[in-house]
Chains A and B, each alone.
Chain A
């Protein structure tokens, strides 16, 4: 499952047949850039990129490996393991590229973290895992890793449409004492220096990510909380409807970029 060299840089082919993302001329960012869309990888320092390129150097794999063990360990009242129903975790390939999706029963969107917890509570009668717990971060990363290299392909039609609109509104709405919208930083000024930080496009395709500043893995919602606080705006809770709708908007905005979970960022 681990790869010594950058999976997306083309040296190692994915066994999934999804490496169809063309690898273009030298000097550009290969699979990490699709049209105008650029992964956060392309704005990162070379040392940070190198950590992500080598799964044996990437500290995120600590939690991913634990989750891979957990996958076959029974839990909850029903004494079931993920593997009992899903077989090999590779069977979940593709899931990470398409979430959030509309959940009929909930009447709203569900993301991968919530989907895993739903399996725990409904299918295993086990306790849900806390949103930013190591267990849920690792399992989410394990599930998304099965889609690594596949282009993000999030649908926003049908019942997802109104939730997409809410996420979009959030993205362009100024907030906080500094009065800035996501778009001010990540659309209007991507590539520019914000004091010590180089602004990226704020793409979600590498989450959960290992963040050097956190010395740990973190969820997309944790990162968004940080971006809210940075402008002195009251954040929402991880897993809130507001953030799931925003996740839908930015995940669709990333369509075409490859899933690169677990990424490494500073």
Chain B
């Protein structure tokens, strides 16, 4: 068990990674809203998950294909595993193309207006995770 505190970013919530692949506890202490999470996944300025993933969001014309299809992802992973994947995918696979959505450290030449800020807020992360948990095949 390791505690990861986003050190210099005081606004970021501290979270605990368990067994290197899961953040079992909600960043906000409450469950997210899957309807809002779906919007975050679509929004190009927020999650923009559709840039890289096919998702069961038929009204959106373009879905990316550099990452795996996320349909059924809740059958494959626990909520805590999905949370870590969204928060900091690079702690799972340092070579991944997938951005870390809740991290502010270790970046190079971030545009000034995004510097020191995570891509998603803790609330948005929870909303996305809640939405991912609805993606079951059956």
Contacts and interface: CB of A to CB of B under 8 A. Distances in A.
A177 B63 CA distance: 22
5 contacts: A179-B90, A194-B51, A194-B64, A228-B109, A233-B108
Contacts of B61: 196
Contacts of A192: 64-66
Contacts of A45: none
A178 B44 CA distance: 13
Interface in B24-64: 44, 48, 50-52, 61-64
A177 B62 contact: no
Nearest to B44: A195
B99 interface: yes
A111 B104 CA distance: 36
B37 to A, nearest CB: 18
A175 B50 CA distance: 21
A177 B48 contact: no
A229 interface: yes
B119 interface: yes
Contacts of A194: 51-52, 64, 66
Given A193-B63, A232-B114, A179 B52 contact: no
A189 B99 CA distance: 15
Contacts of B52: 194-195
A178 B100 CA distance: 7
B128 to A, nearest CB: 16
Given A194-B51, A232-B114, A176 B109 contact: yes
A193 B114 CA distance: 26
Interface in B85-108: 90, 97, 99-100, 107-108
Interface residues of A: mostly helix, strand, loop or mixed? Answer: loop
Given A175-B110, A192-B66, 10 more contacts: A176-B107, A176-B110, A189-B97, A193-B64, A193-B66, A195-B50, A195-B62, A229-B111, A233-B108, A234-B110
Contact of A179 (B51, B63, B100): B100
Given A176-B107, A179-B99, A234-B109, A193 B119 contact: no
B46 to A, nearest CB: 12
B112 interface: yes
A84 B112 CA distance: 47
A222 to B, nearest CB: 17
Contact of A175 (B66, B109, B112): B109
A266 interface: no
- Is chain B's binding surface mostly helix, strand, loop or mixed? loop
A233 B110 contact: yes
Interface string A162-183: 0000000000011111111000
A184 interface: yes
B107 A179 contact: yes
Contacts of B66: 189, 192-194, 199
A90 interface: no
A174 B109 CA distance: 9
Q: Which of A176, A192, A229, A232: most chain B CB closer than 10 A?
A: A232
A88 interface: no
The 3 A-B residue pairs with the shortest CB-CB distance in the complex, in nearest-first order: A196-B62, A195-B51, A177-B114
Contact of B97 (A173, A175, A184, A228): A184
Contacts of B110: 175-177, 232-234
Contacts of A193: 62-66
Interface in A24-70: none
Interface in A190-217: 192-196, 199
Given A192-B64, A194-B51, A194-B52, A175 B119 contact: no
B111 A188 contact: no
B107 A173 contact: no
Nearest to B99: A178
